[in-house]
Amino acid sequence: MVSEKVKHIVIVGGGSAGWLTAAVIAAEHQPLSSIGLRITLIESPDVAIIGVGEGTWPSMRDTLHKIGVSESDFFRECDASFKQGSRFNQWNTGDGSDYYFHPFVLPQGYGETNLVAAWSERHTDIPFADLVSYQPHLCVNGKAPKQATTPEYAAVANYGYHLDAGKFGLFLRKHCVERLGVEHVLDHVVGINSHENGDIASLQTKRRGALSGDLFVDCTGMQSLLLGGHYGVAFQSQKHVLFNDCALAVQVPYADESTPIASQTTSTAQSSGWIWDIGLPTRRGIGHVYSSAHISDNEAETELRAYISETGGPADLPTPRKISFNPGYRDKFWHRNCVAIGLSAGFIEPLEASALALVEMSASMLSDQMPSTREEMEIVARRFNDSFTYRWERVIDFLKLHYVLSTRTDSDYWRENRASETVPERLRESLMIWRHVPPSRYDLHRIEEVFPSASYQYVLYGMGFRTDCACRQSDSIEKADGYFREAANLTRRMLAALPANRELLEHVRRHGFQKI
């Protein structure tokens, strides 16, 4: 008989996705109480995690706070640092002076007046983000987003994290097991047993036998053991839109212990892809994301090693680890009593660090909307699938925006990325509208958008896009100029008051933050 009540959640797979999902659900549904949900996470002792998801959004601060983690402990145990946004080098024209920022703070006065009109009419000699926000200037100067006296999770400037993904998974596992009451099972799943109605009844394990549950969460990575493998839910490849399908990743030591730590993820465009550069306290995480249809592995490694050498890295690095992926997502993410979260649901590419953010969103919605009965599960599943189909489509639109705006002509890769048949229809329509009206809440109307309209503005105008705002009133331009002055004043004050990234991270390592 299929259990009517949902009492036992079984999560298959560890890593960041599995343990983050377990933590979010356990923090709200209290496995340690007599009326709470039972939560079990099973992972194979022999399956290595991918471990290169090293960037988060500011939402991770709320998530870690919600699950009861000390931010000081997180920084110490996960080799974490601050992330205040992304810097894009050579994405537009490809020359050495070509750069722009996508910071985490909203433009000063955003939503109060048309900032784009004033920038377009009077200030195009200044990069858009540099004019409307203080945060790019903090990044250029290597500043931290808070002071030593700022409490845990509080911010002077909005921030997320860079982290060691392997250490993060272990950190979450320890917290889940020791503090949140999650049952941890180390075993191999060798089969899946079904109820007569098609629901998953139990997982057949190598040593423990059958492990039963009421709701199963698939966090098995790209193999998607439950949703893809068992249920055969189709995968929608997006390689015709976003070409990248490989990455070469390597860990790069600093020249010495005093080397400044970057305040942002740096993304530097290459001939057929781009290179990420993430600064942690003890090392840099660097990788080349590329299209195997446009460049060979050896050529991609040559570009990667050249970048590392040019940015102060050593020549004697180990062979980079290759990761292959098919960009895309599942037809649906919740089928019967199985929901996929993380790589088992889909993956596009590391640009703009959406992977962990989608894990957070998925875990949060699952926890908030947790069905009490099997009957309710059908309703929640429909809502979940609608929400995340929309979110994956918007991720694809936003990432494609970076490519379709480029004016680079140095390779087939960049030229083909601008071909109209590779651009999603919704994005094509939006670009037409944005020729006359900047991105706003009318373009992205859901309460929890993956990327808000401000993010679209940062990328559009960072990449040289122009909106004809000639019909806008001059008084709105004067109002915008006032906000630009506010941003400049904030820049001067923050540069004077905030410590360097490494300085604050060293303080946290020794003394920690103040508790809230």
Establish if 68 belongs to a structural domain: yes
Residue 18, strand partner residues: none
SS3 content of the chain, % helix, strand, coil (to 5): 40, 20, 40
Instruction: Give the integer Cα–Cα distance in Å for 349 and 52.
Output: 11
Q: Say what the pLDDT of residue 32 is.
A: 85
Establish if 334 belongs to a structural domain: yes
DSSP string over 145-199: SS-TTSPTT--SS--EEE--HHHHHHHHHHHHHHHS--EEEE--EEEEEE-TTS-
Establish if 51 belongs to a structural domain: yes
Establish if 467 belongs to a structural domain: no
Among 228, 216, 450, CA closest to 352: 450
Mean pLDDT on 285-293: 98
Backbone angles phi, psi at 78, to 5 degrees: -110, 10
Look up the pTM and report it.
0.96
Tally of domains in the chain = 1
Residue 42, strand partner residues: 12, 185
Establish if 433 belongs to a structural domain: no
CATH number of the domain to which 31 belongs: 3.50.50.60
Place 35 in a pLDDT band, splitting at 50, 70 and 90: confident
Q: Say what the pLDDT of residue 46 is.
A: 79
Mean pLDDT on 459-463: 98
Establish if 60 belongs to a structural domain: yes
- Average pLDDT, whole number, for the chain? 95
Tens digit of each residue's pLDDT (9 = 90 or more) over 119-163: 999 999 999 999 999 999 999 999 999 999 999 999 999 999 999
Establish if 170 belongs to a structural domain: yes
User: Which residue is it, tokens 């979450």?
Assistant: 172
CB 270 within 8 A of CB 303: yes
- Residue 2, pLDDT > 70, answer no
Place 96 in a pLDDT band, splitting at 50, 70 and 90: confident
Identify the domain containing residue 58 by its residue range. Answer: 8-78+161-239+327-374
Establish if 197 belongs to a structural domain: yes
